[in-house]
Structure 1
């Protein structure tokens, strides 16, 4: 696809938010991308429309039966350019999610072209501050207005944009406190854990709320069968530095294959780190900590990029990691990763995609 898509202009543009107080996901741009699907036409009517409420049937199957998947990526300001970071990986993953939830796949190249045109329209919304970005949220949900448990025949895809502030407020990395959940489970192999579907996040909310009430920032999930092996944090994949080696749980169907996770692994190898993807038991981590061999822990995801973990709580044990300070490996990987995203470091892998001016 190379032609400009339909553009429905709004009557009046919004007042832009104060760039010093953006937060995350609180403000939305003037326009969004809209795409519709029905069983006879397939995907059709790709267009840019004013951001605003949409009308759906109260019987829409996405509401009742949970057919809903989404993605998250970012656009950055590089001088006069606007740059996306590995968007092809996000559209590959959304198709994997769509397939698992029995929803129609999208044309990845067509949707990427639509995203580029949307971001081009909204160039003035991309913040320029240190660590700031334009957060991009594609979402697909079932709209058929009939009850009865079956795959919907109608769907809607939207891409909305939200200018977002720096996760760390422009300052240094701040270690988080993680609660290891051993009562509830998020996903099991053969389920939907590898898909970025709304239900996975709904299943995590109770444990997250309880952890927050007890003073913990995030929840670290264990596997749903033996409740023994570490899987991922609510919004991030997890990494451990063990005797200088970078170790992360392997993907076995119940863990989201994070784009940041994939990129960190590739970057770490290029920087000379040994990287191991394997099952990691929570009891092993406690033992490694007690022997002084668990050197660093950090999470990796779109929002924070890298988030150091300073403390873990499992059952009646609380362990402190690296004196509750950001470790050398964590900081080095963060600096290189953000350097590539921001354009300060060379991009030998072609991860940055410049948005054309149409």
Structure 2
């Protein structure tokens, strides 16, 4: 692959928003990374250029057949003014697993991490320093060949854009309310549920609208076959603490292999907390709630990191968890993960990578 990175610095710099105005994914940095693919040249012409619109033919396959994948990771500013990435190697591995499922040619993860470090370095003033803030990084691939045949594209564009962000949820670390979806289905084993592809998220929008209308922040998906086993939340993997044991649904081909999920599992085992990855039904969860052994619930994801769940709604019943308050373990996980990410706590796992 072509590794000759071209860099074009923007002549006009944008105004960087104040930390309390960031929100999530509202503002974008001065530069972006682009890499093109054709079957003749492979991946070629890597470049960092000023952030700008792109032009695509109306027949580009991404518009018609959804051949696209994406990733999400973050950069953090430490108290010593260093900038750290969190487990970017895992994102690149997952990106290529998604590529394989969507018939997209694999990318050179090591090169992309080096290009990403350069991109972050160029736009380093965009990495916010306030507590709870970070620079969200969105790598993605789209199919660009302008033909309407139903087959894999011969042309692709890989890009990285970046956005300074605050808290993903308005609630912040405070518990969120989750609606258990028992009508719509998002994914099944053998489908694309384990790939980070746009169609998975589009499939969840209708259910999310309904949950929002009922006053809930997110949807908890059940399996698409028996409609009884818990899978994941719309933007997070999910964990439950039942009678001292932490349980999360096992990866089964329809659940995203979350990087924060993996980090939480490693932290829990490092602390000696009993943890298992297995199937768990909504009925089992309801029974644990009724007998008082459901102690905590929380979601995990790059955007929110740890999101405590204060209430679940299923078939007309509200399950208020831990009195609707953030649990001790959820808080400890959030504090530990964010402290590793921003460099205020030692990183015993070697997860963080300095940008420069």
Q: TM-score, normalised by structure 2?
A: 0.97
CA distance, structure 2, for counterparts of residue 126 and residue 312 of structure 1: 35
- Shift of residue 173, structure 1, vs aligned partner: 2.2
- Shift of residue 339, structure 1, vs aligned partner: 1.3
CA distance, structure 1, for counterparts of residue 169 and residue 212 of structure 2: 19
Q: Deviations over 1:171-227 (max 9, x none)?
A: 972111100000000000000000000000000000001110111110000000000
Which of structure 1's runs of 4+ aligned residues deviate more than 6 A?
Answer: none
Please tell me whether the aligned partners of residues 246 and 274 of structure 1 are also in contact (alpha carbons under 8 angstroms).
yes
CA RMSD of aligned residues (A): 1.5
- Shift of residue 166, structure 1, vs aligned partner: 3.2
- Shift of residue 336, structure 1, vs aligned partner: 1.1
1:21 is matched with 21
- Shift of residue 165, structure 1, vs aligned partner: 1.3
2:99 is matched with 98
1:203 is matched with 203
Provide the secondary structure at the position in 1 that maps to 2:160: strand
Q: Deviations over 1:64-85 (max 9, x none)?
A: 0000100000000012211000
CA distance, structure 2, for counterparts of residue 165 and residue 181 of structure 1: 28
Task: Please list, as runs of the form range in 1=range in 2, the aligned pairs for 1:209-288 lying within 5 A after superposition.
Answer: 209-288=209-288
Task: Please list, as runs of the form range in 1=range in 2, the aligned pairs for 1:126-145 lying within 5 A after superposition.
Answer: 126-145=127-146
CA distance, structure 2, for counterparts of residue 335 and residue 143 of structure 1: 42
- Shift of residue 4, structure 1, vs aligned partner: 7.1
Please tell me whether the aligned partners of residues 4 and 45 of structure 2 are also in contact (alpha carbons under 8 angstroms).
no
Please tell me whether the aligned partners of residues 4 and 46 of structure 2 are also in contact (alpha carbons under 8 angstroms).
no
Please tell me whether the aligned partners of residues 175 and 324 of structure 1 are also in contact (alpha carbons under 8 angstroms).
yes
Provide the secondary structure at the position in 2 that maps to 1:276: strand
2:347 is matched with 347
Please tell me whether the aligned partners of residues 131 and 167 of structure 1 are also in contact (alpha carbons under 8 angstroms).
no
2:319 is matched with 319
Provide the secondary structure at the position in 1 that maps to 2:59: coil
CA distance, structure 1, for counterparts of residue 124 and residue 288 of structure 2: 48
- Shift of residue 9, structure 1, vs aligned partner: 2.2
Provide the secondary structure at the position in 2 that maps to 1:32: strand
CA distance, structure 2, for counterparts of residue 148 and residue 17 of structure 1: 44
CA distance, structure 2, for counterparts of residue 215 and residue 274 of structure 1: 33
Q: Aligned residue pairs: how many?
A: 355
Unpaired runs of at least 5, structure 2: none
Q: Deviations over 1:19-65 (max 9, x none)?
A: 22111100000100000000010000011011110011000001100
1:294 is matched with 294
1:64 is matched with 64
- Shift of residue 10, structure 1, vs aligned partner: 2.2
CA gap of 1:56–1:167, structure 2 versus 1, over 3 A, is: closer
Q: State which drifts further: 12-21 or 302-311.
A: 12-21
Q: State which drifts further: 61-70 or 329-338.
A: 329-338
Q: Deviations over 1:242-274 (max 9, x none)?
A: 111110000010000000000000011101101
